Amino acid sequence: MITNAKNVKNANRLISICLMDALSMSNPQVKNQKEYFIEIISDVIVVDQFYLKVDASKKISAAIGLQTSNANLISNDFTSAKQKLGFFQRKMIIKFIKSMFISNYPKSLDQDTCLLGLILNNPKAYHKEAINYLIKEIIKTTPYQNYIIEVSSNNVESIKTYQALGFKECLRIKNKNLKLSFTNYIYLQYTKDGSE
């Protein structure tokens, strides 16, 4: 079933857990602070901007956030982080969360365009087609004309998957963060042809 996250009880926490499960598999630093991340992300996530694929047992198998010209995926209210964490730990966690939810897309989005951000498969309920199905349903059921996805240049498998869905490269930007292991941000765009 595909639904807007606002229709799912505790969706903000479920999305946060799904994200942290995926990240902690490959990042021991995240794993050690997983509960802090879950709590803070749950507080700042803008639930209305997320679409979910929910399986028969009511668990999230995939989630995608839609960033638009007038709505982001997270709020800037990090009050809970300020109350619970020390200065340096708070700065590090907030910076990390913003890097996960805020795109590097350099252009302003118009009313007909949205950015599909934080494309997330639940590693505990992973099904290869969950993301593809969710993307197709979002395109079919939302009012936007153009859909943009940001992908790192080293994520060749995802690039091929999105291209198979009809996305085409529209922009390439050099990665200036030397800590990241890829050369470019690649932006792929899908445009509805009017018959959908």
Q: Which domain holds residue 114?
A: 2-191
pLDDT for res 185: 86
Domain count, the chain: 1
Residue 116 has pLDDT above 80, yes or no: yes
pLDDT for res 180: 67
Q: How far apart are CA 63 and CA 54, in angstroms?
A: 9
Residue 164 has pLDDT above 90, yes or no: yes
pLDDT for res 163: 95
With respect to residue 84, please indicate whether it lies within any of the assigned structural domains: yes
With respect to residue 138, please indicate whether it lies within any of the assigned structural domains: yes
With respect to residue 196, please indicate whether it lies within any of the assigned structural domains: no
With respect to residue 37, please indicate whether it lies within any of the assigned structural domains: yes
Domain harbouring 130, CATH code: 3.40.630.30
Residue 120 has pLDDT above 80, yes or no: no
Q: Which residue has the tokens 């679409």?
A: 51
Model confidence, pTM: 0.84
Residue type, 46: V
Range with the lowest mean pLDDT among 51-60, 158-167, 174-183? 174-183
Q: Would you say the C-alpha torsion 38, 67, 151, 167 has a positive or negative sign? A: positive
For residue 140, name the pLDDT band (cuts at 50, 70, 90): very high
Task: For 34-78, write each residue's pLDDT tens digit.
Answer: 887 888 888 888 888 988 888 777 778 888 989 998 888 888 888
With respect to residue 68, please indicate whether it lies within any of the assigned structural domains: yes
Query: Helix, strand, coil proportions of the chain in percent (round to 5)?
Result: 40, 25, 35
Mean pLDDT of 94-117: 85
Range with the lowest mean pLDDT among 28-42, 118-132, 173-187? 118-132
With respect to residue 64, please indicate whether it lies within any of the assigned structural domains: yes
pLDDT for res 123: 62
With respect to residue 108, please indicate whether it lies within any of the assigned structural domains: yes
With respect to residue 91, please indicate whether it lies within any of the assigned structural domains: yes
Q: Which residue has the tokens 């505790």?
A: 10
Label residues 74-102 b or e (16+ Cβ within 10 Å = b): beeebebbeeebeeeebeebbebbeeebe
